[in-house]
Structure 1
Amino acid sequence: MSLPYDDRDGKIWMDGTLVEWRDAKVHILTHALHYASSVFEGERAYGGKIFESRRHSERLRKSAELIDFEIPYSVDEIEAAKRATLDANGLTDGYVRAIAWRGAGPDMGVASARNPVRMAVAAWEWGAYYGDAKMKGAKLDLSKWKRPSPETIPSAAKAAGLYMICSMSKHAAEVKGCSDALMMDYRGYVAEATGANVFFVKEGEVHTPLPDCFLNGITRQTVLGMLRERGVTVHERHIEPAELEGFEQCWLTGTAAEVTPVGRIGEFSFEVGQLTRDIALGYEELVRR
């Protein structure tokens, strides 16, 4: 059994200082705990180097702007904080979580403009997000929850509150013996899994949902570049759920998921085909260059 995340040895960077892991705490009246005023990044280090580290740091600051606060650290300072955290924990391969939030202060209601913005970085060893699915293909449920319209949420932000329905969907999927759930968007088109983007293959061409109401993942963008370098035709478009029956292969992409094959979504089955294997292997090679 893995150790609880609040009871481990190591260091966590908080507000400019490395502190003991167990001492990295916030007050119960922290605004983010009550109103989800928090943004974060999930990143992986390979051989001591965080893949696309700067893009993650830039997105962290942009996500904060989208939910109406400014992180009091520059991209360079965030980069230094992540490096210091990895070094302090003696990690070369690991998962890095940078998070920024509105803390406790004079405001304790919906408005929180006077509260300080805080930031932390933690890092730990973390293996395959979907366990042995990288070999056999993940099994996905179909979520009853939909990704909201961008008129109702800042869908380009990696913000904590936007993951509530993702947690609910993943919990429901796990009860059914699935690894994850596929979510539709507010119009009924195929959107994404709870924490990963999705790709499909049909007759040698790739189809992937247009990210116009959900996060355009950094891993997603990396894989799109890999496909185009290989001369594979890619269609970024709206995908109807009924089309799932006609796709031959499927995979998920994300920093945690990396490139994970999908073997089943609801009643629809997919092969772990050659293109899926090639992209998964190519991604593993790319992140370790």
Structure 2
Amino acid sequence: MNTNANPYYNQDTLLFSNGEFKKSLTTTTDLYGQTLHYGYGAFEGIRAYKTESGTKIFKAKEHYDRLKKSCELINIPFEYDIDELIEKSYELLALNNLTDAYLRPIVYCAPNMSLSKPTGVNIMICAWKWGTYLGDNLLNLCVSTYCRPHPKSIKIEAKVCGHYINSILATNEAKAKGFDEALLLDTEAFVAEGPGANLFFEKNGELFTPQLGNILPGITRATIIELCKELDIKLHQGKYSLEQLNDADAAFYCGTAAEVIGIKSLDKKEFPLEWDNSLGKKLQIAYKNLVLEKELSSQLN
């Protein structure tokens, strides 16, 4: 980890910008860009892990495919070759001597002070060493006074820069109240997701997760769904009320940054099932084994 005040880069750090590797400290962008002024850009969060067979970027293609789709959904041209971006991502990790790391590709727009289509597009990929985003302890959540945007007001399935103001407001509100993180509802008051993670909850030995439509279709969420099939865990996707969540036995968040992390309580009401005995714990182990390319642990049987 860097020893200076900046946890993301130092004088030696390189990033990838528009086809070139450049020093982070000396790379600049234009202060008149649409992305800076209007949040008109798309990004991804990707993790790399040190495995027994070397550094591996987990589901790199899926992430870059989603980046492309996000751009297309909000009418930002995406003319980059995904295989080349994956190759450059591995090269970036090697140049910065990173193994366990977080990668942040972002597509951002050129100077344009109007609300019209982009006049030009740029891409940047940076990487840094980053621990578990939400920590290692079980989370104490509160229901946010903010809700997720209405799906007809934005492209809810796109990972767009400006959308995350909603997430920042919800997280800061939760922390100001003494909680670890927030839970957001959708515009119809159904349970949606966290500011940067998808939600699953357990009841009577089965799992439930909000359906697509009002949430970001997380890549880690899709991975958990795959693991449920592999582990023969019954999973339901639908619209769930806050009352149903409050009546759950256990719950967890999942996301690329958060990975899989258990939830202890919601608005100070604790979930009754011990985390170590929950399906979430079983999936947490399975997910870690998957990203580290290990065989499923005997603990899962």
Structure-1-length-normalised TM-score:
0.94
1:177 and 1:95 mapped to 2: Cα distance? Answer: 27
Is contact 1:31-1:112 (8 Å) kept?
no
Structure 2 partner of 1:280? 284
Structure 1 partner of 2:92? 85
2:93 and 2:16 mapped to 1: Cα distance? Answer: 10
Alignment pair present for 1:108 and 2:113: yes
Gaps of 5+ in 1: none
1:3 and 1:243 mapped to 2: Cα distance? Answer: 44
String of CA shifts for 1:203-238, please: whole Å, max 9, x gaps: 100011112122110000100111121111111010
Structure 2 partner of 1:53? 60
Is contact 1:71-1:118 (8 Å) kept?
no
2:60 and 2:243 mapped to 1: Cα distance? Answer: 37
Is contact 1:31-1:103 (8 Å) kept?
yes
Structure 1 partner of 2:256? 255
SS at match of 1:163: helix
The partner residue of 2:127 within 123, 129, 132 is: 123
2:226 and 2:128 mapped to 1: Cα distance? Answer: 29
Is contact 1:199-1:209 (8 Å) kept?
yes
Describe the shift of the 1:74–1:201 C-alpha distance in structure 2 as closer, same or farther (beyond 3 A). same
Is contact 2:141-2:265 (8 Å) kept?
yes
Q: Residue 78 of structure 1: CA displacement?
A: 1.5
Question: Which amino acid in 2 is paired with 1:257?
Answer: A
Describe the shift of the 1:24–1:265 C-alpha distance in structure 2 as closer, same or farther (beyond 3 A). farther
Structure 1 partner of 2:203? 202
Q: Residue 6 of structure 1: CA displacement?
A: 6.9
Alignment pair present for 1:26 and 2:29: yes
Gaps of 5+ in 2: 294-301
Question: Which amino acid in 1 is paired with 2:175?
Answer: E
Question: Which amino acid in 2 is paired with 1:254?
Answer: G
Structure 1 partner of 2:297? none
Q: How does 1:1-289 map to 2 (within 5 A)?
A: 3-4=5-6, 8=10, 9-47=12-50, 48-104=55-111, 107-113=112-118, 115-133=119-137, 137-270=138-271, 271-274=274-277, 275-289=279-293
SS at match of 2:45: strand
1:252 and 1:29 mapped to 2: Cα distance? Answer: 37
2:40 and 2:26 mapped to 1: Cα distance? Answer: 22
Question: Which amino acid in 2 is paired with 1:89?
Answer: N
Question: Which amino acid in 2 is paired with 1:83?
Answer: Y
1:171 and 1:245 mapped to 2: Cα distance? Answer: 23
Q: Residue 2 of structure 1: CA displacement?
A: 6.7
SS at match of 2:47: strand
What is the RMSD computed on CA atoms of the aligned residues? 1.4
Describe the shift of the 1:243–1:273 C-alpha distance in structure 2 as closer, same or farther (beyond 3 A). farther
Describe the shift of the 1:81–1:7 C-alpha distance in structure 2 as closer, same or farther (beyond 3 A). closer
